[in-house]
Structure 1
Amino acid sequence: MAVSEQAPIAAQKVDSDTRKPPMTPLAILLMNFGFFGIQFSFGLQQSAVNPIFTFIGAKPEELPLLNLAGPVTGLVIQPLIGAASDRTWGRFGRRKPYFIIGALGCMVMLFLFPFVGAIWTAFLFMWLLDASNNTAMEPYRAFISDRLPKNQLARGFLVQSMFVGLGAVSANLSLLIFQKLITGITDHGIPFWVYVCFWIGAVCSIGSVLVSVLTTKEIPPTEEELAEMRAKKGGPAGFFAEISSAVREMPVGMHKIGLVFLFQWFAMAVYWQFVAVSMTEKIPAFASTDPAKPVSEAASGWVGAVNGMYNLITIFAALALIPIAQKFGAKRVGAVALVFGGVGLLVFANLNNQYALLVPEIGVGIAWASMLGIPYIMVASMVPKERSGVYMGIVNMMIVVPMLIQNVTFGWIFEHLLGGSGANAIMLSGALLLCAAIAMLWINPPPDDEESALMPLGAARAITIYDKVVVGSDGTPSSLYAVDRAHAVAAEADAQVVVVSAYSPADATDEGARKELHGREAAFQALEVTVRHLTSDRVRRIEQRVVAGDPAQALLSAAEGNPHNLIVVGNRGLGAEEGQMLGTVPAAVVKDAVCDVLIVQGTRDRVPRNRR
């Protein structure tokens, strides 16, 4: 337990959360509405593009390589765009220019995609569509983190998950409905209903993003933040340097989910590519009448039903998973959710009734809700606000690397190890999700001071509000009672205790002046008494500070202007005059503090409660 001696008090640095006024529920909905259109586009990409590849002549074993666009563009574009948006500010804002450009790109590519007539054209359009989606998505996620104070981040990302699910459900339902209503195909083999679905997606993509842009303002950076942006090296070299620096400085919690991501995103890539192939093989009503086409039109339409089902479940599962994860810990809840998904896919691959396929998709939806929500909340709460863009991009690098590995390797695996069977591919996907669940349980939570207070990886703390509990002590029974109360709060919150003893450099005091500690030796003696009092082992992190100067300013300085800390002080404070009910110290602390202040009733010479 180190004791630090500090110079006279300097000005406090105000926490950035004080510049983020809380948003109303309607404002949070409007801010996230753009995710509906972006995810509508992603939903079409996940559910319709692979059947389109087969319509124009692609073989099942070629699908992984044809899907290289997703992971490659994600690996390159997401962190670069994230880093660029971190250092952008202009008349159109910080993040907004990027997701407007991305939404415009999605609109154009969705409009043009149904006109593809050759595999190379579809492959090119897939790259451009995915690049546009990624350009919009990552700055948008950082925008949510920029705009909301920490106590609203969980709600903000929860609403985001709901719109993600709603957009995907709408995309998949459009495939199912219009496949029933519109018949006929083009000379290139593309059904006419594909045109309608993709054109609706084009309108939704740009329309929903414009609603969010026009209704939600960005918070301007401070002069200090602007200076930091200008000081950073620009251009591709600067962006790559920023990404490299962020990777080296990543919080421990971000490293720990890498193995989980390897299994779960490899599994999901397999599922998206081969779900239609599996249904064509297993469901008699979906059997292909053309040997050259491994996916029937009926199966491609029913992909909308099964994928719509799991995305519908995601909307409701997201409502439940976040508070449960906050209570029991993200790793346990995430592991259970992945088990639901793995078992669901194992069952899915062995069913031969199209309507029965909807039941195991419930488990997939629970797993998908966990994948979409929990990691982003954890990252947003543990990384610096000014670097949220690059870190959101790095999280998605961790997603796309397993998908890139799948794209490069799975064609051979499918043909030589799985017997060219789509059902076997889906079973392997389910087994990989179970491996991800095991890997999640293998993760050890980070140290207490690196754990996310908003979304803990391990079991949640009983109190998750405070990072530090600051308390002053002059060694008297009254002040030790305040220390006792601070200790109790810190033990429940697993927070750090900072004990402050402030002293006057003078050796004596004029008659009538406040009773306070005089000289360094008296301050160190007061700390010694205080530390002997802190006998419980429930608070493992205790910092002691001896400060020359005003007691109130010493407490405020120790709290560091952080709204997530707590100051505990007796109602007479350090050295109140006899008879005062509220001393000058607590009065000054209450007046100037930006964090919570707990006033302990200690006017009588109370003896601190003994701890067993």
Structure 2
Amino acid sequence: MTQMKQKPFLNFWQIWNMCFGFLGIQIGFALQNANTSRIFQTLGADYNNLPILWLAAPITGLIVQPIIGHMSDKTWGKLGRRRPYFLYGALLASAALIIMPNSPTLWFAASMLWIMDASINISMEPFRAFVGDMLPQKQRPKGYGMQTFFIGVGAVSASMLPWMMTNWFEVSNVAPAGEIPDSVKYAFYVGGISYFAAVLWTVISTKEYSPEEIEAFEAYERHLKGIKKGEDHIVADRPVNKFVAHGILWFLAGAILTAFFIGFQLDKQLYILSGGCIVFACIQWTVALLKSKNRINNGFVEVVEDLFAMPNAMRQLAVVQFFSWFALFAMWIYGTAAVTEYHYGSNDPTSLAFAEGADWWGVLSGAYNGFAALAALVIPIIVAKVGQKLAHMINLWIGALGFLSFLVIKDPALLLLSTVGIGFAWASILSLPYSMLSNVLPSNKLGIYMGIFNFFIVLPQILAAAVLGFIISNLLGGEAIYGFAVAGISWFIAGFSVLLVKLPEED
């Protein structure tokens, strides 16, 4: 008989240590998000082509996150279950951060974005599952809240690094055409070192539970719920004929869309959308072939099967995530171009006005992340008053108003007010969906399902890369500022979608 044991509650500093690595991860993401478009434009990219150049990041996450989740679920070594991925991902990401601002050409920078994003995802995905591994259910919201706090602090410091280099250390923020300014280069160097140091702190300071301890904890939780071993696990076994039939439907959809795009000579970026349908069809056919030959004991089949076996609440939250992250990707793509052009009157990367606008966008990025860190302290109070779903809706709608205000406010300094709403929505997106999801995930596949849930962070980014360029260029006059209008509408839709989520405690 399996020994039962209650998972111990951790104190404040233990939770601090286990989440501290997220500070480094967010430093990497913030430098990437705030400066990649600037680097691309400096190396000659037209901002109408920025979405396609950003495509590397979401595609990488789509591939890497479920694979790493599956592998980390099954890894038990000297460093533990999740920590090897923290450490090795940090090594790769730190190296990529140092190399990225030294990119000699646009294609090299796009390649480095791919490598950097893959490395960051190797570190990040297991950190989400780490909270479930280490904390009892009642403490998990605190764990995700602590992660959100470090996300805010890391993003503030990293987003403002180029501005600080210029204004505090008198490092030049302008450079000849085709060269990255020294302020950006030094910011990435500091970020690379900080990333590795923060993750290393978590690796050294936090010891993971052994497989035997994890089993004892799970046995205790099953005992409290009055269920037997295996009853809390989702068994995914989708029939082969469904994979074949649905693959045909997705293939036909992709073929029809491709013919439509070609026939009307629409933007080639839209082929990403039709190509994605065809790729998904091929994935389903591949799974059908492997299952027909009884070759099911591999991560590829398991991830795809689990995708179709998601709990209902997870499916509903996936819709919320989709529209939430579509808005964020629009902001990251068009933030630099919108502020420099609309508020500073320049789209010339070699001009002082563009440099000042790009630096100010970095400050605004730091500001919304700073407000997110403060919001992480306020959101639990809102949740206690109105519940998780209504709190998330309120925060998303406040953020939507923040996006739309960019079109109304002309004074760059007053945009700091806009970032308050964006910060509240950002903090909510990073915590409340995971908190709502924590009670519906099967304990035997926590890593995989965290990776699959991140599909709905990645898929809207791929869609944004496919359609935003077309929408902005052809429907909205080619003005980057309207990317913020699209983002605001998307967050209004996400907020409404939250109300449709059915959580177990509501049954």
TM tier, smaller = 0.7 to 0.9
**1:211-238, Cα deviation, whole Å (9 max, x unpaired):** 1111100000029969x9xxx99x9961
Cα separation, 1, equivalents of 2:214 and 2:189:
45
* 2: CA distance, partners of 1:61 / 1:79: 31
Q: Give the aligned partner of residue 434 of structure 1.
A: 492
Q: Distance in 2 between matches of 1:50 and 1:265?
A: 18
Amino acid at match of 2:447: G
Corresponding position of 1:308: 366
Cα distance in 2 for partners of 1:295, 1:144 equals 44
Listed as ranges, the matches of 1:422-461 within 5 Å are 422-441=480-499, 443-446=500-503, 450-451=504-505
Does structure 1 conserve the Cα–Cα contact (< 8 Å) formed by 2:44 and 2:178? no
**Aligned residue in 2 for 1:221:** 211
| Superposition deviation, residue 203 in structure 1 | 0.7
Structure 2 residue aligned with 1:212: 202
Query: Shift of residue 326 of structure 1?
Result: 4.9
Q: Is 1:342–1:434's contact at 8 Å kept on the other side of the alignment? A: yes
Residues 184-583 of structure 1: pairs in structure 2 closer than 5 A:
184-185=174-175, 188-222=178-212, 238-283=298-343, 286-288=344-346, 290=348, 296-441=354-499, 443-446=500-503, 450-451=504-505
Structure 1 window deviating more from structure 2 (120-129 vs 380-389): it is 380-389
CA distance in 1 between partners of 2:142 and 2:396 (Å): 22
Distance 1:45 1:330, change over 3 A: same
Offset of residue 280 of structure 1:
1.6
| CA deviation after TM superposition for structure 1 residue 432, in Å | 1.5
Distance in 2 between the 1:138 and 1:307 partners?
23
**Gaps in structure 2 of 5+ consecutive residues:** 217-229, 231-235, 237-289
Which residue type is aligned with residue 328 of structure 2? M
1:353-408 alpha-carbon deviations (Å, 9 max, x no partner): 11101001100001001100011122233213331111110111111101111111
One-letter amino acid of the structure 2 residue matched with residue 239 of structure 1: G
Give 1:182's match in structure 2, choosing from 138, 149, 171: 171
Offset of 1:292 from its aligned partner? Answer: 8.3
Residues 87 and 200, structure 2, Cα contact 8 Å, conserved in 1 = yes
Deviation at 1:295, TM superposition (A): 8.4
In the alignment, the residues of structure 1 paired with residue 350 and residue 360 of structure 2 have an alpha-carbon distance, to the nearest angstrom, of 20
Q: 1:253 to 1:108 in 2, by over 3 A?
A: same
Greater relative CO, 1 or 2 (CA 8 Å, sep 6+): 2
Which runs of 5 or more residues in structure 1 are unaligned?
Answer: 1-10, 452-457, 459-493, 495-612
Match of 2:242 in 1: none
> For 2:479 and 2:406, how far apart are their aligned partners in 1?
14
Aligned to 2:18: 31
Q: Kindly indicate whether the alpha-carbon contact (under 8 Å) linking 2:42 and 2:177 is maintained by their aligned counterparts in 1.
A: no
Aligned twin of 2:266: none
Contact 1:54 1:295 (8 Å CA) reproduced:
no
**Residue 478 of structure 1 corresponds to which residue in structure 2?**
none
Q: Distance in 2 between matches of 1:195 and 1:373?
A: 32
Is the 1:36–1:208 Cα contact (8 Å) retained in structure 2? yes
Matched, 1:70 2:57: yes
Distance of 2:381 and 2:43 partners within structure 1: 46
Aligned AA for 2:79? Answer: F
* Contact 1:102 1:136 survives alignment (8 Å): yes
Q: Deviations over 1:487-545 (max 9, x none)?
A: xxxxxxx8xxxxxxxxxxxxxxxxxxxxxxxxxxxxxxxxxxxxxxxxxxxxxxxxxxx
Structure 1 pair 212–171 and aligned structure 2 pair: CA distance change class (3 A): same
RMSD: 2.5
Alpha-carbon distance change, 84 to 225 in structure 1, aligned in 2, over 3 angstroms: farther
Q: Aligned partners of 1:223, 1:155: CA distance in 2, in Å?
A: 22
Counterpart Cα distance in 2 of 1:427 and 1:137: 30
Question: Could you say which residue in structure 1 is the equivalent of 2:30?
Answer: 43
1:99–1:295 Cα change, 3 Å = farther
TM-score, normalisation: structure 1: 0.67
Q: Is the CA contact 2:368–2:420 (under 8 Å) kept in the aligned structure 1?
A: yes
Q: Which has the larger radius of gyration?
A: 1
Change (3 A) 1:90 1:420: same
CA contact (8 A) 1:82 1:389 kept: yes
Higher strand proportion (structure 1 or 2): 1
Query: How many Å separate the matches in 2 of 1:371 and 1:170?
Result: 20
C-alpha spacing 1:224/1:152, structure 2 compared with 1 (3 Å) = closer
Q: Aligned in 2, Cα 1:244/1:404: closer, same or farther, shift over 3 Å?
A: same
- Range with greater deviation from structure 2 (202-211 or 378-387): 378-387
In the other structure, the counterpart of 1:539 is: none
Number of equivalent positions? 429
Contact 2:405 2:418 survives alignment (8 Å): yes
User: Aligned AA for 2:495?
Assistant: A
Deviation at 1:431, TM superposition (A): 1.6
**Cα gap change, 1:276 to 1:356, in 2 (>3 Å):** same
Report what 2:114 is aligned to: 127
SS in 2 for 1:350: coil
SS at match of 2:454: helix
**Does the 8 Å CA contact 1:379/1:392 hold for their aligned counterparts?**
no
CA deviations 1:141-171 (Å, max 9, x no partner) are 1112101111211111111110011100110
CA contact (8 A) 1:278 1:349 kept: no
Q: Is the 8 A contact 1:162 1:314 kept in 2?
A: yes
TM-score by length of 2: 0.80
Q: Could you tell me the percent identity over the aligned residues?
A: 35
Q: Is the 8 A contact 2:317 2:501 kept in 1?
A: no
Give the CA deviation at 1:428: 1.7
Distance 1:369 1:348 in 2: 20
Q: Distance in 1 between matches of 2:17 and 2:204?
A: 9
Aligned partners of 2:143 and 2:416: how far apart in 1? 29
Number of the residue aligned with 2:97: 110
Aligned in 2, Cα 1:24/1:292: closer, same or farther, shift over 3 Å? closer
Does the CA contact (< 8 Å) of 1:146 and 1:385 recur in 2? no
> Is residue 277–residue 295 contact of structure 1 (8 Å, CA) maintained in 2?
no
Q: CA shift at 1:244, angstroms? A: 2.6
Structure 1 contact 60–294 (Cα < 8 Å) conserved: no
Matched, 1:54 2:41: yes
C-alpha distance 224-93 of structure 1, shift in aligned 2 (>3 A): closer
CA separation of 1:367 and 1:236: change in aligned 2, threshold 3 A: farther
Superposition deviation, residue 327 in structure 1: 4.8
Distance 2:127 2:324 in 1: 24
Code of the aligned partner of 1:332? L
CA contact (8 A) 2:69 2:450 kept: yes
Task: Report the Cα offset of residue 27 of structure 1.
Answer: 1.0
Return the letter of the residue paired with 1:445: K
Shift of 1:94: 0.6
Distance 2:213 2:393 in 1: 44
